[in-house]
Amino acid sequence: MSLSAIIVMIVSIIALWGVASYALIVSMRQEERKLALLQSQDDFEPYSPRAFRDLEQWLAQHSDSEHAPEVREWQQAQRQSLQRNPQRFYEWSHADDDARGAS
Amino acid sequence: MTTTISREQWGSRFGYLMAVVGAMVGAGNIWRMPYVTGENGGGAFLIAYFLLLYLIAVPGLMGETSLGRYTRQGLIGTFRKLYGNNRLVGLGLVILIFNIVLMSYYSSIVGWSIYYAFHAVIGTFTQADFDTAALWQAFSGNTALNVGMHSVAMLLVTGILLFGIKGGIERLAKWMMPILTIALIAIAIRGVTLPGAMAGLEFSFSPNWAYLARGETWLAALGQALFSTGLGWGIALTYGSYLGRNDDIPLGGGVFTAIGNTSFGLLAIFAVFPIVFAFDISPSSGAELAFVALANAFGSMTGGYLWALLFFMGFFFANLTTAIAITEVGVTTYREERNTNRTKAVLTICGIIWLLGIPSAMNANILGYLDFVIGNWGLPLSTFIIMITIGWKFDAQRLRVVSLNRGADIYVPRVWELVVRYQIPAIMLGIMAYFLYTNLGQTPWKTVSGLAILTLMIPLCMWVMGRRHDMPYTATSKGGPSS
């Protein structure tokens, strides 16, 4: 086999089977963490700090939208979860916690 | 009045991931991808393919799964939730009909794979002086046998779907996908150790960079990336509707599904082409490759019984998990729309597919015609409708913020919205226009008649759903993220 074919073959294996295996392992581990949190505290925060910032930004920009009540409901649920639960699923810095009033 | 029935959920993360990747891994991964790769510049094709996979299939599958998880409804229920109870719900019916027609002829392919798996079990291919071409010709020409195998395929699909999402689809996929992986790895190891096998890998992987400048290479890569991943057919939406509200979608439903599916295509390259080249078989694709060339090669190999068994059982598993997924789109929708139990929905949808599939089982030309119409325009149109619905009707930004990034293992940035709103719909329109341009000159009757049927189907479906507008709507499961 030519060197270029060998390189393409190896890169393909890494880009496909490597990524797929990594995604499967990470996904399964994260699920285990979610299940552990559900068993220990019945709940965990559904949004990461960045995702929650997006949610709040969306609400600020679409406060009159017909969908705003639903999004507010999720914002409230996230805040309550952060205040109620000592353990987090996502990594939150102190600055994030302070900004959400959840410390 | 709106009634609510409980909605089943996937029993485990592994089960969902295996079911969804099993839905996407089908005949195309095994008998088409190796040939398409080799014919389009090898490594150059793979680079184009990877790019399109990450730019289109991964974000598209994220959106479709996320929409299903949000609405927690099947196809028509999702469209009704988004468009209101009016004629535009007919767009969901259009996609549903494409799925049913697709399954009506895919069932014949499942039947072929059952037939060959059976012959692998009884050791037909390793008999002395056995002629695989004669077997394929005899099988192809036997109408009753083809209808019989189509019926067996639909009976199997019916039986599995009767056990439900968790007890049927998930339980099956949890076993079949790992077995398929092991089978292909074993064949690949055997294949690459055959004398002359390296030429097969050279054919598949050797990069011919000039191909990257050819439009045909990118179109072939686009076709493989779209059709192999099943983007926009309603499968990801249906499977997503059975996810829990805090389950991850971007990593599992997006990255793993698209990349995992393609990984099976890569494994097929290792499993198929070393054997093809080792036995000096002309590289090809489709039924000719699997049922004649490879069957013949297995018969000539040491331990050929085992390799034929592994290959044809694996091929059967790949086709069966896909068939189940395509049929489940109809079952979920019918169950919700008719507010009926699962047993009745499964029997009705499978019965309809079985009846519709008989002409395709009897006549390969009908199968070819349906595949031509559905493959060239039906499925791209489905993807176009679903992506427009996500990007513009639902609003891609709202879906990303509310649903896609909820419980996500990876964060999906704003650029995703542009992909779903503009990029994928534009590519779908382009691909349909290209297929029209290329086929009109070569097969004008097929092209015009196929397009006429599709064009009439849209207003007809909208009319049908418009007629139901005045009827009282009874939702059958809770929708929205609060459920």
Contact (CB, 8 A) for B324 and B64: no
Is the model's pLDDT at B435 over the cut of 80?
Answer: yes
Judged by a CB distance cut-off of 8 A, whether residue A16 touches chain B is yes
| Cα A36 → chain centroid | 16
CB within 8 Å: A23 and B207: no
Q: Which residues of B touch A47 (CB under 8 A)?
A: 405-406
The whole-angstrom separation of Cα B155 and Cα B30 is 24
Q: What is the pLDDT of residue B471?
A: 61
Q: Which residues of B touch A44 (CB under 8 A)?
A: 246
- Interface of chain B against chain A, CB under 8 Å? 13-14, 17, 42-43, 46, 50, 198, 201-202, 205-207, 245-248, 251-252, 255-256, 259-260, 262-263, 266-267, 397-398, 400-402, 405-409, 411, 480-482
Q: How many residues does chain B have?
A: 483
CB within 8 Å: B205 and A34: no
Residue given tokens 């099956």 in the structure block:
B172
Is the model's pLDDT at B5 over the cut of 80?
Answer: no
Residue with more model confidence, B238 or B280: B238
CB within 8 Å: B248 and A31: yes
CB within 8 Å: B482 and A5: no
Q: What is the pLDDT of residue A14?
A: 93
Is the model's pLDDT at B482 over the cut of 70?
Answer: no
Mean pLDDT over B126-141 rounds to 88
Q: How many angstroms away from the CA of A52 is the closest CA of chain B? A: 8
Mean pLDDT over B414-443 rounds to 91
User: How would you classify residue B234: left for phi > 0, otherwise alpha for psi between -120 and 50, otherwise beta?
Assistant: left
Q: How many angstroms away from the CA of B470 is the closest CA of chain A? A: 24
Is the model's pLDDT at B483 over the cut of 60?
Answer: no
CB within 8 Å: B255 and A19: yes
Tell me, yes or no, whether A36 and A53 share the same domain.
Answer: no
Judged by a CB distance cut-off of 8 A, whether residue A25 touches chain B is no
Q: What is the pLDDT of residue B247?
A: 94
Phi, psi of B410 (to 5 degrees): -135, 150
Percent of chain B with pLDDT over 90: 58
ipTM of model over 0.85: yes
**In a 3-state reduction of DSSP, which class is residue A90?**
coil
DSSP result, A30-58 = HHHHHHHHHHHHS---SS-HHHHHHHHHH
CB within 8 Å: B397 and A58: yes
Q: What is the pLDDT of residue A103?
A: 43
Q: What is the pLDDT of residue B6?
A: 62
Among chain B residues, CA nearest to A31: B13
Domain range spanning residue A3? Answer: 1-42
Is the model's pLDDT at B439 over the cut of 90?
Answer: no
Mean pLDDT of chain B: 89
CB within 8 Å: B401 and A13: no
Tell me, yes or no, whether A54 and A11 share the same domain.
Answer: no
B2 pLDDT tier (thresholds 50, 70, 90): very low
Q: Which residues of B368-385 are buried (b: 16+ CB within 10 A; e: fewer)?
A: ebbbbbbebbbbbbbbbb
Tell me, yes or no, whether A54 and A33 share the same domain.
Answer: no
Q: Which residues of B touch A96 (CB under 8 A)?
A: none
Q: How many angstroms away from the CA of A68 is the closest CA of chain B? A: 10
Is the model's pLDDT at B29 over the cut of 90?
Answer: no
CATH superfamily of B13-468: Amino acid/polyamine transporter I (1.20.1740.10)
CB within 8 Å: A5 and B252: no
Q: Which of A13, A31, A71 has its CB closest to that of B402? A: A71
Q: What is the pLDDT of residue B1?
A: 36
Q: What is the pLDDT of residue B326?
A: 96
Tell me, yes or no, whether A98 and A80 share the same domain.
Answer: yes
Q: What is the pLDDT of residue B57?
A: 93
Is the model's pLDDT at B215 over the cut of 90?
Answer: no
Mean pLDDT over A68-97 rounds to 89
Percent of chain A with pLDDT over 70: 91
Tell me, yes or no, whether A52 and A101 share the same domain.
Answer: yes
- Indicate the DSSP class of residue B472: P
The whole-angstrom separation of Cα B159 and Cα B161 is 6
CB within 8 Å: A34 and B407: yes
Tell me, yes or no, whether A38 and A2 share the same domain.
Answer: yes
Is the model's pLDDT at A99 over the cut of 80?
Answer: no
Mean pLDDT over A20-26 rounds to 95
Tell me, yes or no, whether A50 and A75 share the same domain.
Answer: yes
Tell me, yes or no, whether A85 and A61 share the same domain.
Answer: yes
Q: What is the pLDDT of residue B214?
A: 86
Of B44-53, B63-72, B473-482, the range with the lowest mean pLDDT is B473-482
Tell me, yes or no, whether A49 and A22 share the same domain.
Answer: no
Q: Which residues of A touch B409 (CB under 8 A)?
A: 26-27, 30
Query: How far is the CA of A47 from the CAs of A39, A79, B400, B401, in angstroms?
Result: 19, 10, 12, 9
Is the model's pLDDT at B40 over the cut of 50?
Answer: yes
Among chain B residues, CA nearest to A55: B401
Q: Which residues of A touch B403 (CB under 8 A)?
A: none
Total beta-carbon pairs less than 8 A apart between chain A and chain B: 113
Q: What is the pLDDT of residue B477?
A: 43
Domain ranges, ordered by start, for chain B: 13-468
Is the model's pLDDT at B82 over the cut of 80?
Answer: yes
Mean pLDDT over B347-358 rounds to 97
Is the model's pLDDT at B468 over the cut of 50?
Answer: yes
Q: What is the pLDDT of residue A96?
A: 67
Q: How many angstroms away from the CA of B455 is the closest CA of chain A? A: 34
Mean pLDDT over B293-322 rounds to 89
Tell me, yes or no, whether A29 and A54 share the same domain.
Answer: no
Judged by a CB distance cut-off of 8 A, whether residue A61 touches chain B is no
Tell me, yes or no, whether A7 and A26 share the same domain.
Answer: yes
Mean pLDDT over B234-255 rounds to 95
Q: How many angstroms away from the CA of A72 is the closest CA of chain B? A: 10
Residue A49, number of CB atoms within 10 A of its CB: 19
Q: Which residues of B334-354 are buried (b: 16+ CB within 10 A; e: fewer)?
A: bbbbeeeebeebbebbbeebb
Q: Which residues of B touch A5 (CB under 8 A)?
A: 42-43, 201-202, 205-207
Number of domains within chain A: 2
Tell me, yes or no, whether A35 and A59 share the same domain.
Answer: no
Q: What is the pLDDT of residue B356?
A: 97
Is the model's pLDDT at B219 over the cut of 90?
Answer: no
Among chain B residues, CA nearest to A14: B263
Amino acid letter for position B338? R
Structure tokens that stand for B176 in this block = 């079949």
